[in-house]
């Protein structure tokens, strides 16, 4: 849809796109369709990404806060699943989230771009390249037009070229990928519950988590792309492979080893089952080794934006972060404690680094059900893909081992690792591991993919409301539940990839194989009197697509050669 009516377009001589609201002092709202330089949908025309813009009506050039997402039409953004809305002439009205309401009055532009093939964009899902094209346009390096096809050229002559990419989940993953491109003009990124290693997100140490048809983003496509992008999606799935091997495609979408120019403010919940915290831990470590300016918000919640955890504190932090890296304000935010950490529900502290210095401790299981410094005997488990780790914790379809009650509170932080020695009676087998804190506690409701928050009936406002675009959002509160146990880390693997993630192999039934892999990262305090538990199982029904073929193996664990290594320290006070 064209942004402007034909008569209005004929009267405007400039190449920027003023909206009717600009005459009243309201922000300018407009759309630029940015050419990506590809033709993924093979329609014979350059793909164009729809970039919806809201910016100050007056003043000089401004920096840009950019959120690139496939969800603006299909699913919505934020805790209230807000979608973009448009006036009858196509001018954007509602911008989801508070970014435009809060930051535009403070001298920023906000650009919300539709990933290729979603909402009003043509092309197919190529999120990082799509976001990079928008940044290039904002810096005068790419073309844009005032219509999805044809139209007049549009220049971003109102932009300084300095861009901060932000977003949760897929949007955060896109921001991480954009930063790995080393793109000039991208000064900072704010990934919230984002993915840095796509292999680790979709394949658990050689074990694909879903069937090929469930691993893509085709569900976000508009009607046009749903048809035209079938060859693109088929090629993508072919490059992914189905055997769980870490191949050239997965290397291309692993953004952790690459140099990053942009600073990074990252948020992660340790209770997030959708994007597990091992994504954060590995990326955070890579940023530190590279000397990238970085700051983290770490909670005990699930897949949650910090805006819904500590609203005022997050908005202030975000404002200071963008002021520092997009406006050059020397406010010292990069010299403050690097990590804002929730140690227990609604108990927060600021620390200089993460993970803390810890003492590595290795424990082993014994056939009598104990967990301690030595292991002995064997344990046999019949794989049942219909049950998951929460069932395992109750003693179903897994071997459970527990240690003695803790004599004092102890903090486990970092990324635990396990070494498993096991044999199977089939030529393929999945193995699963979980670390459990057994003992009564009130915890956030993050089990079984819960968020750990709940909506209230009240609202609070963050910025300026405009017609069709409110700055007010439902307040939230911590959602607690009494529990007799809490799974604090977990992991899965394909035993056939014991030697290398690059090449799996059929198992010889009855032969023992040894495999080492990390569990999800954690920062958890085990209270005095609680017991630490280790669960050994097969397919984790909470992780794996039930449509996957079930190996159905009987697993025998050699407990003397199976161990768990944890990083322990004293709790923060």
The SS3 call for residue 467 is coil
Distance CA 223, CA 376 (A): 59
Backbone angles phi, psi at 293, to 5 degrees: -60, 130
Burial group, residue 433, by CB count within 10 angstroms (0-12, 13-18, 19+): buried
Task: Give the pairing type, strands 554-558 and 410-414.
Answer: unpaired
Which residues are within 8 A (CB) of 279 and not within 5 positions of it... i.e. 6 or more apart?
194, 195, 196, 197, 200, 201, 268
CB 223 within 8 A of CB 248: no
Question: Which residue reads 């920027």 in tokens?
Answer: 16
CB 93 within 8 A of CB 468: yes
Tell me how far CA of residue 351 lies from CA of 217, 265, 312, in angstroms.
37, 15, 19
The SS3 call for residue 181 is coil
Distance CA 103, CA 56 (A): 10
For the annotated catalytic residues, the residue numbers are: 169, 272, 303
H-assigned helices in 327-410: 389-393
Which residues are within 8 A (CB) of 377 and not within 5 positions of it... i.e. 6 or more apart?
366, 367, 368, 559, 560
SS3 of 505-543? CCCCCCCCEEEEEECCCEEEEECCCCEEEEEEECCCCCC
Tokens of 443: 């915890």
The SS3 call for residue 157 is coil
């Amino acid at each position: 849809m064209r942004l402007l009516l034909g008569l209005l377009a004929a009267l405007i001589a400039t190449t920027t796109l003023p909206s009717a609201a600009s005459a009243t002092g309201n922000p300018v709202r407009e759309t630029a369709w940015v050419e990506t330089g590809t033709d993924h949908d093979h329609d014979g025309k350059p793909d164009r990404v729809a970039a919806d813009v809201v910016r100050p009506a007056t003043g000089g050039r401004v920096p840009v806060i950019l959120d690139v997402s496939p969800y603006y039409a299909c699913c919505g953004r934020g805790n209230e699943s807000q979608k973009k809305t448009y006036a009858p002439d196509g001018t954007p009205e509602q911008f989801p989230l508070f970014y435009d309401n809060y930051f535009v009055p403070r001298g920023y532009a906000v650009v919300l771009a539709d990933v290729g093939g979603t909402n009003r964009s043509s092309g197919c899902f190529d999120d990082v390249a799509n976001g990079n094209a928008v940044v290039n346009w904002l810096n005068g390096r790419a073309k844009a037009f005032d219509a999805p096809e044809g139209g007049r050229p549009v220049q971003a002559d109102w932009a300084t070229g300095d861009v901060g990419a932000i977003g949760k989940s897929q949007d955060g993953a896109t921001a991480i990928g954009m930063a790995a491109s080393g793109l000039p003009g991208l000064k900072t990124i704010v990934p919230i519950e984002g993915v840095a290693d796509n292999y680790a997100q979709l394949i658990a140490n050689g074990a694909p988590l879903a069937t090929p048809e469930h691993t893509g983003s085709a569900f976000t496509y508009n009607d046009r792309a749903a048809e035209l992008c079938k060859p693109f999606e088929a090629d993508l799935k072919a490059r992914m492979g189905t055997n769980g091997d870490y191949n050239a495609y997965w290397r291309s979408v692993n953004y952790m080893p690459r140099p990053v120019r942009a600073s990074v403010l990252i948020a992660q919940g340790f209770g997030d089952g959708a994007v597990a915290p091992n994504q954060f831990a590995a990326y955070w470590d890579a940023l530190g080794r590279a000397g990238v300016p970085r700051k983290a918000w770490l909670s005990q919640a699930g897949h949650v934006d910090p805006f819904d955890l500590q609203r005022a504190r997050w908005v202030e932090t975000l404002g200071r972060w963008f002021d520092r890296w997009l406006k050059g304000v020397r406010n010292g935010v990069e010299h403050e404690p690097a990590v804002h950490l929730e140690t227990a529900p609604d108990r927060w502290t600021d620390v200089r680094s993460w993970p803390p210095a810890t003492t590595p401790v290795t424990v082993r299981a014994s056939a009598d059900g104990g967990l301690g410094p030595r292991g002995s005997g064997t344990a046999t488990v019949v794989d049942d893909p219909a049950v998951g780790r929460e069932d395992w914790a109750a003693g179903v379809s897994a071997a459970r081992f527990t240690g003695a009650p803790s004599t004092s509170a102890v903090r486990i932080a970092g990324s635990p690792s396990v070494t498993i020695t096991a044999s199977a009676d089939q030529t393929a087998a999945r193995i699963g591991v979980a670390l459990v804190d057994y003992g009564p506690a009130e915890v956030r409701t993050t089990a079984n993919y819960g968020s750990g928050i709940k909506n209230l009936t009240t609202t609070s406002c963050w910025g300026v409301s405009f017609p069709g675009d409110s700055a007010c959002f439902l307040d939230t509160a911590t959602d607690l539940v009494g529990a007799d146990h809490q799974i604090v880390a977990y992991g899965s693997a394909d035993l056939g990839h014991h030697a290398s993630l690059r090449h799996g192999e059929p198992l010889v039934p009855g032969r023992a194989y040894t495999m080492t892999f990390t569990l999800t990262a954690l920062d958890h305090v085990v209270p005095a009197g609680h017991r630490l538990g280790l669960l050994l199982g097969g397919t984790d029904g909470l992780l794996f697509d039930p449509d996957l073929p079930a190996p159905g193996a009987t697993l025998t664990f050699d407990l003397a050669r199976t161990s768990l290594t944890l990083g322990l320290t004293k709790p923060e006070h």
